[in-house]
Amino acid sequence: MTTITHEDHVAQVDDEGYLEHWEDWSDEVACALAEREGVSKDCPLTSERMEILRFMRTYYQQFNSFPILGAICKNVHQDRDCTYEHFPDPIAAWRIAGLPKPTTEVFAYIAHGR
């Protein structure tokens, strides 16, 4: 386990970078996770990126499932490929959103394209 921090917020991630405790996620923790993933330095997570991350969390919490990438953009009213524009690596987006490690089915979906 590794400890990540941003400002006064601290959280634990596993060896693969997934947040250990769902309830530890916050905008500040998202910044620390984004820095860890190399997505942003000093946390310039734009409002568009945060909107995507919050939708992913809400969807997962409501359905206990990962959202389909195309549905994310439609639901946050952004361009059709918004997830790939803002997060070229969807797995990094899931880590930053504080979601648990995806199943093998999700990895296969991503490996075979959108």
Token pair in block for residue 35: 């820095």
The strand ranges marked E within 8-86 are 9-13
Q: Give the start-to-end residue ranges of the domains of the chain.
A: 2-111
pTM: 0.86
- Give the per-residue pLDDT at 105: 83
Residues 4-46: pLDDT tens digits?
A: 776 777 899 999 999 999 999 999 999 989 988 988 765 678 9
Residues 54-104: pLDDT tens digits?
A: 999 999 999 998 888 778 999 999 998 888 888 888 889 999 999 999 888
Q: Are 67 and 55 in contact (CB under 8 A)?
A: yes
